[in-house]
Structure 1
Amino acid sequence: MTGYSNDPIRTPLCDLLGCDVPILLAGMGGVSRWELAAAVANAGGYGMLGMVREDPSLIKQEVTALRAATDRPFAVNLIPAATKPELLDAQLLCCLALGVPAFTFFWDVVPAAIERVKQAGCLVLHQVGTLQAARNAEDAGADLIIAQGIEAGGHVHGRQSVWDLTAAILAQTSLPVVASGGLATGADLAAALRMGAVGIQCGTAFLATEESFAHAYHKRCVVDAGGADTVLTDIFVLNWPKAAAVRVISNSVTAGLKGSNLGHDPADLPRETIAWDGKTPRLRYSTDSPLRTTTGNLEAMPAFAGKGLDAITDIVPAASRLNKLAADARYSIAHSSEATS
């Protein structure tokens, strides 16, 4: 699929989600706050609030601020399978009371959560890392599948490349599919559309923007590093189930593993405070990344990033990054058409 109407990158995803270009902001926990989501949405993309495990009071604050900054549609990202049931219930109650129009879920499929928000008339975007999870999400009533490849930054659910997984899911589902994982260029978007996906989701590309809530240290790490500097590890696993791997930029913690990147049990890891967000302690080996509000040993915290780092060489406004992605995708599609005509 290469779009329709007068814009070669416009796809049915734009009508489904109410965006102008088929580029989704990943719902990065801690990083995708209202300022970034609004910037992406106002530039024509699709904004998401990363509210994983956040208190409902913060969700209300973020949704209210986002709506004051944009009238564009958006989604709230939650992870039912990795959230305590009582907190998830409170989060969903809060979101539904606020009239949140869409949700992005991730990790294992929880049919009850999908059913609950679907009954309220909400859209469900489900990010998956395996073909089976895609099937489960479709069976549970999801409206769209986000195929996350192993190249992705942050939590990585599967072990296939983004292109292999996207192709496998496209062959097995009737739902629209968005590709995600290490995608940071217009050429990536063009490639996804050519294979039949309806868009791409970007995380790291938007983390390194002015509006991102990531700490300046994290943003600088993204700009200075390359894809080969990332590592997939489950050493940063406190607060998540055992074997929940993440992709991060190498640091002193991963260097100390001496290649033993996987197989760490959170029950065996010490609880040592190395940083703070206000009065909230941040532990060594936790999944908490450094945010604007974080102080302490930032270097030992996980600097989440995907393998598309080579394309990210500066920190710019989110609208600039999105506009360049869209323009480069149009250029790629136009020149590909010329080459084959």
Structure 2
Amino acid sequence: MDALDRKFDLRTPLCDLLGCELPVLLAGMGGVARAELAVAVAQAGGFAMLGMVRESPELIEAEIRAFRAATDKPFAVNVIPSATDPLLLQAQISRCLDLGVRAFTFFWDVVPAVVEQVKREGCLVLHQVGTLASARQAEDAGADVIIAQGIEAGGHVHGRTGAFALAEAVLDGAKVPVVVSGGITTGRGLAAALTMGAQGVQCGTAFLATTESWAHDYHKARVVQAGTDDTVLTDVFVLNWPKGAAVRVLGNSVTEGLSGRLMGHDPAELPREVIAHDSGQPLLRFSTDSPMRHTTGSLEEMALYAGQGVSGVTDIVPAAERLRRIVEDAVDCLRHPNLRPG
């Protein structure tokens, strides 16, 4: 069987809805999922998202134009209403609509008015949720796709339920496609998601450790070196986000210094100490900033996002190669369920 046939073995109705070949979504990782990575995933057959959380309308426009200059594949822009100043959020959405963006990804609390706003303009809405209640609320507001994020996920984690347990609950009664997200870095996760009735998966950590990712080389190297037990869930990296917003990161000197008190940190009580810089901008200890390509300073102390599936990422490769491995392993799993892929 040739590669093209293998791809279409996994095609689901979600692919038709989004205009992609493969049911694998690039997570809209802030700072990491810029045009370079999004283009690579889209051209390889996946569905691309631009991670534009709290970015300026000017940067968003530049990334959209860079994406379109490289490919005519469809994409979504990821913004987070509940973690963004309302004026900035409206400026972001207005700029996207002016540029003809046809799909948005939202996350964290469901804001029905925002969903309805872009739906009125004919846009698709993918909404990532962490609870069954949020999934139902997002669907009621008009979301076209529900992304069920489990506690295994890297980065900001909204719920406290495992990805597949949450997806199973969401699938029971959902009238729109459901995507599983959280700890999925190999084809086994994709195969499991499709077998349970989901229509695809969303991957973040798997694509963070790729050549096109905007994550700093230090962050990528830490991901490659890490094992499943090396991630922790904490709300200490909370500056710039609402109180109680937990993240999954690789353990570092900051988390080790908490003496086991990983949760319960109030951003109003955390010190503001500059530990790094990015393009001239100071970055604070305890902020949600992760190190990007041009970040300098104490990278080890920053939020090094990674999901619990991190042990499945053992090298840094082009995004197309990562996607190819996921797809081929998934096909092997589905065809030969009693054999270990690879």
Whether TM exceeds 0.5 here: the answer is yes
Aligned residue number for residue 116 of structure 1: 117
Between the aligned partners of 2:94 and 2:87, the Cα distance in structure 1 is 11
Following superposition, which runs of at least 4 residues in structure 1 exceed 2 angstroms of deviation? 4-8
**Could you list the per-position Cα deviations for residues 88-117 of structure 1 after superposition, in whole angstroms to 9, with x for gaps in the alignment?**
010001000011110000000001110111
1:190 aligned to 2:191? yes
- Does residue 1:136 correspond to 2:133, yes or no? no
Q: Report the Cα offset of residue 336 of structure 1.
A: 2.8
Q: Does 1:107 align with 2:104?
A: no
Q: CA deviation at 1:7?
A: 2.9
SS at match of 2:334: helix
- The aligned residue for residue 82 of structure 1 is 83
Is the counterpart of residue 322 in structure 1 residue 314 in structure 2? no
- Superimposed CA distance per residue, residues 175-215 of structure 1 (whole angstroms, 9 cap, x where no aligned partner): 11000000011111000000000000000000000000000
Give the aligned partner of residue 93 of structure 1. Answer: 94
* Structure 2 stretches lacking a partner, 5+ long: none
CA–CA distance in structure 2, aligned partners of residues 42 and 279 of structure 1: 33
Match of 2:61 in 1: 60
Structure 1 residues 6 and 259: alpha-carbon distance in aligned structure 2, compared to 1, 3 A threshold:
closer
TM-superposed CA distance for 1:62, in Å, is: 0.2
Cα RMSD after superposing both structures: 1.3
1:15-51 Cα offsets, whole Å, 9 max, x none, are 0000101000000000000000000000000000000
Normalization by structure 1: what TM-score?
0.97
**Matched letter for residue 227 of structure 1:** T
Aligned match of 2:152: 151
1:174 CA drift (Å): 1.1
Q: What TM-score, normalized to structure 2?
A: 0.96
Residue 278 of structure 1, CA deviation: 1.5
Equivalents in 2 of 1:17, 1:194: separation in Å?
Answer: 20
Cα deviation for residue 258 of structure 1 reads 1.2
Identify the residue that residue 126 of structure 1 maps to in structure 2.
127
Deviation at 1:69, TM superposition (A): 1.1
Q: Show the counterpart of 1:213.
A: 214
Residues matched between the structures, number: 335
Give the secondary structure class of the aligned counterpart of 1:60.
helix
Partner Cα separation in structure 1 for residue 240 and residue 76 of structure 2: 23
Cα deviation, 1:263-302, whole Å, max 9, x if unaligned, reads: 0000000011110111211000000000001111101001
Q: Is residue 23–residue 201 contact of structure 1 (8 Å, CA) maintained in 2?
A: yes
Name the structure 2 match of 1:176: 177
Amino acid corresponding to residue 304 of structure 1 in structure 2: Y
Taking only the aligned residue pairs, the percentage that are identical comes to 66
Write the mapping of 1:247-286 to structure 2, written as runs, cut at 5 A.
Answer: 247-286=248-287
SS at match of 1:155: strand
Q: How much does 1:6 deviate? A: 8.6
Amino acid at match of 2:297: G
One-letter amino acid of the structure 2 residue matched with residue 194 of structure 1: T
Instruction: Return the letter of the residue paired with 2:282.
Output: P
Distance 1:251 1:336 in 2: 37
CA contact (8 A) 2:6 2:328 kept: no
Q: What is the Cα deviation at residue 130 of structure 1?
A: 0.1
Q: Contact 2:7–2:22 at 8 Å: present in 1 too? A: no
Q: SS state of the match for residue 305, structure 2?
A: coil
